[in-house]
């Protein structure tokens, strides 16, 4: 049975259109113009317990709005959703005890106090038994390497350290569903890797269900098997991560290493787009349907020392998905 | 029920400790704040001393009675400012920045967390000074202990706090729609200006109507008038009942209003 079920979820905002200049501002005092903005336009999906799902889309696609509806922060304009059997926007305590939302761009810890004090307050608010609290805090702090920083004021921590503390705060009460909105935004690669490892380990040990939005494809590759893509409030893909590359990655990168020097560029360009030609190496992007024929042809003509066929980088595929969706939306 | 009350009391204790620790981290700011509050109260008491040197009553209130009233106002106002004012004042900013999100995610009453999460220790001495002023006034008056009056005072004092809190919560809730609510402080100043004087000052035809309006229609004059009245002047059961009813109704209305406002919360973009 799905742990998250979303049906026709829609959120429309009425946005004030401010006119330019002083006259426009004065006119706005008595006559205001509003525009209806459909942030989420009737999306459907369901997530099974223990799944780790990436929720991708360009800026303004409706990802965060969806997460906020699933957290119960905002009310939908239409549609239904249940998470752990609860309607999120009823904001029942029984629901709020069982999930957590982490937002990479916002702080929930008290700025002027050590993170440890905020954790204690969490313990009170979530009624976490003392032994469970101590155990979980110890485990998470060790996992993230911040055992010595919990008594330091939050404002004196680096962004990476602060994010780790935010993650600890979100996990202390043992949520069954974790909603993550760009948890690694602005972090260096070391901190990103630490957060990813923590989430992976936490998932492995607790079987938590995760829905993650991120613009870093490394997060997605490291954590998620399934991807949901949303653009302009509409769902455009829901399936395995590998499937999105199959569906939208029309070409593959063929890396060739010749026994002698690589052939001339003109010859290699017959197969596809050459991205590297250096000594014995040649990297060529070749359409999927032509790869077998191209390789056979190269082998007939030249002696190869090594060959590999790689999927295009996920960033590239996702960018293509977004671009196609944008063109379809503009055309409509 | 008992467990629930105990949990909220524990949380209040925790919030009190953490906000005190935060204040102590900026002790210069804390000391200045306390000094300004004490100075303000000192000036006010000195001013009334000068006035009472020229007259024996103000609007029918003798000097000790009036000082009891002033003490009562300071105690109520101090309590409101210590527990709620800073939180309510910050609410609009929480709405504007979207930081309200994290308060709404917690498995705890939103109104409690939003209105009580920070205790402003810098205004807490007002409560103490108000209590001292009331005690001194009672001694000056030669007041004899009356358990009935004390009980009525405790009840109406709590009602006064409840009415003031409800009024503040309604002003605060408007921030969800207005997003910027800089008028909150001005409105609160207007409210506390009305509450700081006995309702008898509204004499004369037009003013009397105004006094009735603020006693029965928008009953904010009940806040410090009734508790002071029942303790040192008239023990009017009708007025006590009215104050209790107004307190209960205003708590209910402000809570409903707050929840209606939260439904319109848009959560600023991340």
pLDDT in tens, A56-99: 988 888 999 999 999 999 999 999 999 999 999 999 999 999 99
Structural domains in chain A, sorted by start: 4-239 (3.40.50.300), 250-310 (3.30.70)
Q: What is the ipTM of this complex?
A: 0.80
State the sign of the Cα–Cα–Cα–Cα dihedral B143, B146, B151, B156: negative
pLDDT band at B269 (very low <50, low <70, confident <90, very high): low
Answer yes or no: do A68 and B102 touch at CB < 8 A: no
Lowest-confidence region among A8-12, A108-112, B150-154, B222-226: A108-112
Strand partners, A309: A254
Give the model confidence (pLDDT) of B31-79 as tens digits: 888 888 888 888 988 988 898 888 888 888 999 999 999 999 999 999 9
Asked if B107 lies within 8 A of A97 by C-beta distance, the reply is yes
- Does the CB of A106 have a partner CB in chain B at under 8 Å? yes
HSE-up of residue A315 (Cα within 13 Å, Cβ side)? 5
Cα A61 from Cα B182, distance rounded (Å):
33
Q: Do A72 and B14 touch (CB under 8 A)?
A: no
Mark yes or no for CB contact A72/B267 under 8 Å. no
- What are the helix and strand counts (H, E) for chain A? 12, 13
Contacts of B209 (CB under 8 A, 6+ apart): none
Chain A interface mutation, best of B10, B107, B268, highest count of A Cβ atoms under 10 Å: B107
Contact B107 A93 (CB under 8 A): yes
Task: Write the DSSP string, B192-238.
Answer: HHHHTS-GGG--SHHHHHHHHIIIIIS-TTHHHHHHHHHHHS---HH
| CB-based contact A64 B99, cutoff 8 Å | no
Contact A117 B269 (CB under 8 A): no
Q: Where are the beta strands (DSSP E) in chain B?
A: 57-58, 61-62
- B197 Cβ partners below 8 Å, 6+ apart? none
Cα A327-A63-B175 angle, rounded to 5 deg: 120
Q: To the nearest whole percent, how much of chain A has pLDDT over 70?
A: 100
Residues of A in contact with B99 (CB under 8 A): 106-107
Euclidean distance between CA atoms B100 and A215, whole angstroms: 24
Residue B1: per-residue pLDDT:
73
Count the neighbouring beta carbons within 10 Å of the beta carbon of residue A299: 12
Does residue A174 sit at the B interface (CB-CB below 8 Å)? no
Q: What share of chain B has pLDDT > 90, as a percent?
A: 49
Most confident of A118-132, B149-163, B211-225: B149-163
At a CB cut-off of 8 Å and minimum separation 6, what does A330 contact?
none
Cβ contacts of A93 on chain B, cutoff 8 Å: 107-108
User: Which residues of B fall within a CB distance of 8 Å from A127?
Assistant: 7
Give per-residue pLDDT as tens, A116-154: 999 998 998 999 999 999 999 999 999 898 989 989 888
- Which residues contact residue A211 at a Cβ distance below 8 angstroms, ignoring those fewer than 6 apart? A4, A47, A53, A55, A67, A70, A177, A178, A179, A180
CA-nearest of B210, B234, B232 to B72 is: B232
């Amino acid at each position: 049975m799905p742990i998250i079920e979303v049906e026709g979820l829609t959120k429309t905002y009425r946005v004030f259109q401010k006119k330019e200049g002083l006259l426009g501002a004065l006119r706005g005092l008595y006559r205001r113009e509003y525009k209806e903005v459909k942030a989420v336009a009737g999306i459907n999906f369901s997530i099974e317990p223990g799944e780790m799902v990436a929720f991708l889309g360009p800026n303004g696609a409706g990802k965060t709005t969806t997460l906020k509806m699933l957290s119960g922060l905002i009310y939908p304009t239409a549609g239904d959703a249940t998470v752990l059997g609860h309607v999120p926007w009823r904001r029942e305590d029984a629901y709020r005890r069982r999930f957590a939302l982490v937002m990479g761009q916002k702080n929930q810890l008290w700025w002027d106090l050590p993170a440890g004090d905020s954790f204690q307050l969490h313990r009170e608010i979530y009624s976490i038994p003392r032994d469970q609290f101590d155990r979980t805090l110890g485990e998470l702090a060790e996992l993230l390497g911040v055992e010595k920083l919990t008594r330091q004021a939050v404002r004196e921590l680096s962004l990476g350290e602060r994010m780790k503390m935010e993650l600890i705060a979100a996990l202390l009460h043992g949520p069954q569903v974790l909603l993550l909105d760009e948890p690694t935004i602005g972090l260096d690669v070391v901190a990103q890797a630490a957060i990813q490892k923590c989430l992976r380990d936490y998932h492995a040990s607790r079987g938590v269900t995760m829905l993650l939005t991120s613009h870093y494809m490394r997060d997605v590759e490291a954590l998620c098997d399934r991807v949901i893509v949303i653009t302009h409030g509409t769902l455009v893909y829901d399936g395995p991560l590998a499937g999105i590359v199959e569906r939208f990655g029309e070409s593959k990168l063929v890396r060739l290493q010749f026994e002698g020097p690589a052939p001339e560029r003109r010859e290699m360009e017959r197969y596809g787009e050459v991205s590297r030609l250096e000594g014995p190496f040649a990297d060529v992007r070749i359409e999927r349907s032509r790869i077998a024929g191209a390789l056979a042809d190269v082998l007939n003509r030249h002696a190869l020392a090594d060959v590999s066929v790689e999927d295009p980088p996920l960033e590239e595929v996702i960018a293509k998905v977004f671009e196609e969706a944008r063109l379809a939306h503009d055309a409509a | 029920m008992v467990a629930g009350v105990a949990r909220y009391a524990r949380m209040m204790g925790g919030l009190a400790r953490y906000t005190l620790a935060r204040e102590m981290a900026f002790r210069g700011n804390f000391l200045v704040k306390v000094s300004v509050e004490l100075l303000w109260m000192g000036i006010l008491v000195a001013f009334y001393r000068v006035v009472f040197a020229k007259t024996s009553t103000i609007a029918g209130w003798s000097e000790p009675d009036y000082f009891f009233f002033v003490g009562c106002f300071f105690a109520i106002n101090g309590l409101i400012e210590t527990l709620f004012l800073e939180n309510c004042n910050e609410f609009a900013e929480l709405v504007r920045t979207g930081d309200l999100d994290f308060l709404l995610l917690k498995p705890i009453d939103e109104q409690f967390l939003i209105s009580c999460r920070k205790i402003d220790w810098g205004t807490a001495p007002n409560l103490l000074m108000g209590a001292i002023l009331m005690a001194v006034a009672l001694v000056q008056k030669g007041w004899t202990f009356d358990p009935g009056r004390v009980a009525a005072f405790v009840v109406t004092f709590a009602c006064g706090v409840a009415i003031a809190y409800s009024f503040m919560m309604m002003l605060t809730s408007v921030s969800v729609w207005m997003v910027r609510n800089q008028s909150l402080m001005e409105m609160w100043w207007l409210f506390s200006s009305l509450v700081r004087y006995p309702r008898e000052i509204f004499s004369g035809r037009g003013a009397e109507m105004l006094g009735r309006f603020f006693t029965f229609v928008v009953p904010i004059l009940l806040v410090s008038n009734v508790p002071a009245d029942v303790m040192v002047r008239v023990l009017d059961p009708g007025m006590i009942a009215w104050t209790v009813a107004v307190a209960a109704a205003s708590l209910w209305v402000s809570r409903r209003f707050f929840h209606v406002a939260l439904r319109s919360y848009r959560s600023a973009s991340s």
